[in-house]
Structure 1
Amino acid sequence: MDKIKIKNLEVFAKHGVFPEENTLGQKFLVSAILYTDTREAGLTDDLTASIHYGETCQFIQHFLQEHTYQLIERAAEALAETLLLNTPRLERICLEIKKPWAPIGMSLETVSIEIERCWHTAYIALGSNMGDKEGYLNQAVHALGETPGCKVTKLSSFLVTEPYGVTDQDQFLNGCLELRTLLTPEELLNRVHQIEQNAGRERILRWGPRTLDLDIIFYDDLLLNTENLCIPHVEMHKREFVLKPLCEIAPYKRHPGNQKTVYEMLEELKIS
Structure 2
Amino acid sequence: MDIIRIEQLEIFAYHGCNEEEKRDGQKFYVDANLYTDVMTPGLSDDLEDTVNYAKACKFINKFLTENRFDLIEAVAEQTTRALLKEFPKITKVDFTINKPNAPIKLPFGNVAVSVSREWHKAYLSIGSNIGDKEGYLNQAVDMLYDDENCKVGAISKFIQTKPYGPVEQDDFLNGCVEIETLYSPQELLKAVNAIEAAANRTREIHWGPRTLDVDIVLYDDEIVADSNLFIPHREMHKREFVLEPLVQIAPYAINPISKKTAEQLLDELRGQSENVNSGCAGCQGCAMRK
SS of 1:170 mapped into structure 2:
coil
Shift of residue 90, structure 1, vs aligned partner: 0.4
For residues 29-178 of structure 1, the aligned pairs below 5 Å read 29-166=29-166, 168-178=168-178
Highest Rg: 1 or 2? Answer: 2
SS of 2:233 mapped into structure 1:
coil
Q: Post-superposition, which runs of at least 4 consecutive aligned residues in structure 1 deviate over 4 A? A: none
Measured against aligned partners, the alpha-carbon deviations of 1:167-210 in whole angstroms (never above 9, x if no partner) come to 52100000000011000001111111122122111111111111
User: What one-letter code is carried by the residue in structure 1 that aligns with 2:204?
Assistant: I
2:250 maps to: 250
Structure 2 Cα separation of the partners of residues 117 and 129 of structure 1: 37
Q: Which runs of 5+ in 2 are unaligned?
A: 273-290
User: What one-letter code is carried by the residue in structure 2 that aligns with 1:132?
Assistant: D
Structure 1 Cα separation of the partners of residues 172 and 182 of structure 2: 30
CA RMSD after TM alignment: 1.1
TM-score for both structures, normalised by structure 1: 0.97
Tell me which moved more, 13-22 or 115-124.
Answer: 13-22
Percent identity reads 50
Measured against aligned partners, the alpha-carbon deviations of 1:200-222 in whole angstroms (never above 9, x if no partner) come to 11111111111111110000011
Q: Which runs of 5+ in 1 are unaligned?
A: none
Measured against aligned partners, the alpha-carbon deviations of 1:102-128 in whole angstroms (never above 9, x if no partner) come to 122222111111111110001000000
SS of 2:97 mapped into structure 1:
strand
Tell me which moved more, 46-55 or 171-180.
Answer: 46-55
Tell me which moved more, 21-30 or 212-221.
Answer: 21-30
User: What one-letter code is carried by the residue in structure 2 that aligns with 1:261?
Assistant: T
1:184 maps to: 184
For residues 174-213 of structure 1, the aligned pairs below 5 Å read 174-213=174-213
Structure 1 Cα separation of the partners of residues 202 and 102 of structure 2: 51
Structure 2 Cα separation of the partners of residues 2 and 246 of structure 1: 30
1:229 maps to: 229
TM-score for both structures, normalised by structure 2: 0.91
SS of 2:70 mapped into structure 1:
coil
User: What one-letter code is carried by the residue in structure 1 that aligns with 2:24?
Assistant: L
Structure 1 Cα separation of the partners of residues 255 and 104 of structure 2: 50
Shift of residue 229, structure 1, vs aligned partner: 0.9
Structure 2 Cα separation of the partners of residues 189 and 62 of structure 1: 32
Structure 1 Cα separation of the partners of residues 267 and 67 of structure 2: 53
User: What one-letter code is carried by the residue in structure 1 that aligns with 2:5?
Assistant: K
Shift of residue 225, structure 1, vs aligned partner: 1.4
Tell me which moved more, 213-222 or 196-205.
Answer: 196-205
Measured against aligned partners, the alpha-carbon deviations of 1:46-86 in whole angstroms (never above 9, x if no partner) come to 22222111111111111111111111111111100100000
Tell me which moved more, 35-44 or 2-11.
Answer: 35-44
Shift of residue 147, structure 1, vs aligned partner: 2.0
SS of 1:228 mapped into structure 2:
coil
2:28 maps to: 28
Structure 1 Cα separation of the partners of residues 173 and 62 of structure 2: 47
Structure 2 Cα separation of the partners of residues 61 and 190 of structure 1: 31
Structure 2 Cα separation of the partners of residues 194 and 66 of structure 1: 30
2:241 maps to: 241
2:7 maps to: 7
1:18 maps to: 18
Structure 2 Cα separation of the partners of residues 111 and 237 of structure 1: 48
User: What one-letter code is carried by the residue in structure 2 that aligns with 1:11?
Assistant: I
User: What one-letter code is carried by the residue in structure 2 that aligns with 1:58?
Assistant: K
